[in-house]
Amino acid sequence: MHEQGSIPISDAGDKRWRYRLIAATLIVLSAGLHLAYLAAHFAFDLAPDEAHYWDWSRRLDWSYYSKGPLVAYLIRAGIEVAGPISRQLTQTDMWAVRLPAVLCGSLLLLSLYVLTVQVTKREKLALGVVAIALTLPLVAAGSSLMTIDAPYTCIWGWALVLGYQAAIRRSPWAWPALGLLLGLGMLAKYTMLLWLPSFGLFLLTSRRHRPLLSSFAFWAMVFIAFVCCLPILIWNAQHDWVTFRHVGGQAGVTENGGIRWLGPLNYLGTQFAVLLGFWFVVWVAAMLAYRPGWDQDEGRQYLWWLSMTTFAVFCLFSFKNGGGQANWPVTAYLAGLVLTANWIADRWQRRVIRTSVFAAAATGLLLIFCMHFTVALQPLLARISGKPSAKHPFPLRRFDPTCRIRGWRFLANEVDRVRQQLREEGIEPVLVASGWNLPGEIGFYCQGQPQVYSFGLVFGDRWSQYDLWRPNPLFDPEYFAGKTFVLIGPSHPCLGEAFDHVEPSRIVTYQENGHPIAQWGITVCRGYRGFSRFHPQVEKF
């Protein structure tokens, strides 16, 4: 094993720059491939989350119902900077919307390289960490889809770099910079808050670093992070603290569903699958090998606490939420990846380790290829999934998660046809969707990018940002009185009480190579009166 602070002969001199050049080449090449793919005609449509955040970017605010404002500002910046290029390449703003995700993915890889060099002093190992990260489907997805995870993981990675610089290298400038970064991360995703207790546990359990907990620099860092979060707090104070109730519901804290004893098992199984089995096993092995009390290296202890704490917190929450979403503990694996690579490097001479690493990397690359070119796998998936049936009308969706980000342009074109027919009657219709996940998609891909509203609350959907914006058909029916609506999504019996006339729904089915992928309803509703049974004053967020 290499001792902390030693520099192997193989990493000295010009070879360090060779590793850095190779790493930089891999990062730039990866970004270029992502950008080229997103510019191609076969690139996936925006995911519902991406389209939802795009809709936020049209109404910039201090915060939003379910998330902080950073994702909206990044999307708006991408459109302002690269919108014209995007429209030339894809006829939409899709390329510009996802541009920040590609940049965040590249910066995340760079942070992993820097962090590995900081902790291990081994440039060759840092190159290996970047190479491993490029074979992980979770990293590839985060570098293509503009969700909150793209800036969140990037900021977490650089917070790891600054945290090491502040606590272990004792650089005074790193503390305020770390505070700014943590505050920015909170504006991206609220689980950034977990970084602080993880860092605090490292300081608390290290006799040499424990005095930092009472230092001015530490509390100045905390104060700066808190100040950066004020936009979220002010916005929530103005909106009845809706975000806190939403997040509490997702975590299972505000629900009385009892204890889900199988939740941790589901959580562990999901994480095993996300990390392709092998990487989860070696991560666990690294956690055991470098656990406190058995390993004295302060750099590795820093990584251990910044990895294990996040993982353990979500494992505990799984008793309430049944396991949560697969991506929730993703940041646990950033520090964990460096530890895992270090564990593998110390055992690299073992043939089983080398063979397993290459096999896992090859599997990851194959899955990444399949993720981006799923159409080529449709004959095989169709054979596995079987023919459409009453129970499974869209069998491919059971095996291909990318189905949820395909067909939205097709749907928008069908909606535009209905809009044009109504315009020929002299009617400019109002567009409305049956739930929160549809308005962004319709608004993004329809001609002129119109505002689309939501009937989600009366259809049994959860609250969303669309229920807070005004004017709103549910809360301000007088503003929309007498107008004709085009409803996208499943119809509902309550429409009869809200409109003078509801036409039969037109069913639109999106297919690829003869395989049904998705289906929606389009319903023209004339003469809006409002929902008499909807009482917003007694509704709860």
Is the confidence at residue 193, as pLDDT, over 60? yes
Q: Identify the pLDDT of residue 385.
A: 87
Q: Identify the pLDDT of residue 296.
A: 86
Contact 160, 306 (CB under 8 A): yes
d(CA 525, CA 496): 9
DSSP lists the bridge partners of residue 506 as 522
Is the confidence at residue 469, as pLDDT, over 80? yes
Q: What is the pLDDT of residues 57-109, one digit of tens each?
A: 999 999 999 999 999 999 999 999 999 999 999 999 999 999 999 999 999 99
CA atoms within 13 A on the CB side of 360: 23
Q: Which amino acid is at 296?
A: Q
What's the mean pLDDT when you consider all of the chain? 91
d(CA 98, CA 77): 11
- Tokens describing residue 497: 């009480």
Q: Is the dihedral of CA 118, 123, 126, 130 positive or negative?
A: positive
Is the confidence at residue 7, as pLDDT, over 80? no
Q: What is the pLDDT of residues 218-250, one digit of tens each?
A: 999 999 999 999 999 999 999 888 888 877 766
d(CA 286, CA 338): 10
Q: Residue 387 CB: number of other CB atoms within 10 A?
A: 9
DSSP lists the bridge partners of residue 509 as 519
Is the confidence at residue 463, as pLDDT, over 80? yes
Q: Could you tell me which residue, 360 or 11, shows the higher pLDDT?
A: 360
Contact 480, 430 (CB under 8 A): yes
Q: Identify the pLDDT of residue 10.
A: 42
Q: What is the pLDDT of residues 362-410, one digit of tens each?
A: 999 999 999 888 888 888 888 888 888 888 899 998 888 889 999 999 9
Q: What is the pLDDT of residues 431-451, one digit of tens each?
A: 999 999 999 999 999 999 999
Q: Is the dihedral of CA 312, 317, 323, 328 positive or negative?
A: negative
Q: Identify the pLDDT of residue 13.
A: 57
- The answer, as to whether pTM is greater than 0.75, is yes
